């Protein structure tokens, strides 16, 4: 008697920040279109490997994040479609490729490039949308008596600036048993290393973006429950130090607000996050001093 295969859900998130990719293009490095093509081939391999696998594709930028697939026009397409398109591809894979490219072009066309644009992206918002979508698909699968496994693969280009939002998303993914894999396209990110470590995922910085597809298929195509049997790159040492909310610097010793748990590198009598005023007692060396009329301090 054969055991029924559990369904799985993969959400791919691609950072399409035009400022970051434009700077890379000026230096003659890999373009956004090359990265998108590699991600689509990776998505096709994932869907073609099993009829019980489902996929969603998100893009995040500096000001927004949105679903590229599925859309309203493709939401009714069955995941087990086997019809072939004109070029010989399966209808599902052909629809996935065409829809993602069309929606990505439309998203970038609406971006207004201004002088104040930075290379930061709304990674935390995209992760939150992915978790909500996985939770909704799980509930639909439970109606039919199934159990769906969820996983997220983040193709991160820019460093996430919203530390609190990113940590909240990481703890939520850990609670929902959703693995978050991080494929860093830019510099090393200690925050994203913490996210992948908390959720039991893999973190890998791609040294050469021209070989992105090989890294995606070799490292991130396998499910978390079979990775222990594979020879994968050793995880890099994660820096678990918190980052301050004021300068985004990693700290060994910090000041923490007792109300909202915000972290700061220097003491402030008023929390800049929740605006709580702290009434602290004076140190013992200053308690006995009294101010004279001239303004000087005198020990009692």
Region 183-202: what's the mean pLDDT? 89
pLDDT at 118 exceeding the cut of 90: no
* pLDDT band at 162; cut points 50, 70, 90: confident
Region 162-170: what's the mean pLDDT? 85
* The pLDDT of residue 94: 87
Give per-residue pLDDT as tens, 270-296: 888 888 888 766 556 555 555 555 444
* pLDDT band at 5; cut points 50, 70, 90: low
Look over the chain and give the mean of its residue pLDDT values, rounded to a whole number: 82
* The pLDDT of residue 176: 95
Region 133-150: what's the mean pLDDT? 88
pLDDT at 56 exceeding the cut of 70: yes
Find the range with the poorest average confidence among 35-44, 82-91, 106-115.
82-91
pLDDT at 213 exceeding the cut of 50: yes
* pLDDT band at 160; cut points 50, 70, 90: low
Output the DSSP codes for the chain: -PPPPPPEEEEEEEE--HHHHHHHHHTT---HHHHHHHHHHHHHHHHHT-TTEEEEEEEE-SS-EEEEES-TTTTTS-TT---B-TTSSBHHHHHHHHHHHHHHHHHHHT----TT--S---HHHHHHHHHHHHHHHHHHHHHTT---EEEEEEEE-S----HHHHHHHHHHHHHTT-EEEEEESSS--HHHHHHHHHHT--EEE-S-GGGHHHHIIIIISS-GGGGGGS--PPPPPP----B-TTT--B-SS-EE-TTT--EESS--SB-TTT-PBP-PPPPHHHHTEEE-TTS-EEE-
* pLDDT band at 257; cut points 50, 70, 90: confident
Structural domain spans, the chain: 8-229, 241-292
User: What fold does the segment set 8-229 form as a domain?
Assistant: Rossmann fold (3.40.50)
């Amino acid at each position: 008697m054969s055991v029924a295969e559990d369904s799985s859900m993969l959400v791919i998130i691609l950072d399409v920040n035009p400022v970051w990719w434009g700077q890379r293009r000026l230096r003659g490095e890999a373009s956004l279109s090359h990265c998108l093509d590699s991600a689509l081939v990776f998505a096709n391999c994932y869907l073609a490997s099993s009829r019980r696998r489902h996929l969603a594709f998100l893009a995040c930028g500096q000001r927004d994040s949105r679903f590229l697939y599925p859309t309203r026009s493709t939401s009714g397409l069955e995941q087990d479609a086997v019809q072939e398109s004109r070029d010989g591809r399966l209808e599902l894979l052909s629809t996935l490729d065409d829809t993602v490219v069309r929606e990505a072009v439309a998203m970038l066309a609406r971006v207004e490039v201004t002088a104040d644009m930075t290379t930061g992206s709304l990674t935390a918002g995209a992760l939150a949308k992915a978790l909500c979508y996985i939770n909704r698909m799980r509930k639909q699968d439970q109606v039919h008596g199934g159990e769906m496994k969820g996983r997220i693969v983040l193709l991160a280009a820019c460093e996430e600036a919203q530390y609190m939002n990113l940590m909240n998303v990481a703890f939520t993914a850990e609670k929902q048993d959703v693995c978050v894999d991080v494929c860093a396209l830019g510099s090393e990110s200690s925050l994203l290393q913490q996210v992948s470590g908390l959720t039991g995922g893999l973190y890998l910085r791609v040294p050469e973006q021209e070989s992105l597809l090989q890294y995606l298929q070799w490292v991130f195509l396998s499910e978390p429950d079979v990775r222990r049997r594979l020879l994968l790159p050793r995880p890099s040492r994660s820096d678990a130090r918190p980052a301050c909310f004021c300068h985004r610097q990693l700290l060994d010793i910090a000041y923490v607000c007792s109300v909202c748990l915000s972290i700061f590198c220097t003491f402030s009598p008023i929390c800049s996050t929740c605006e709580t005023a702290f009434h602290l007692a004076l140190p013992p060396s200053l308690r006995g001093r009294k101010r004279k009329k001239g303004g000087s301090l005198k020990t009692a």
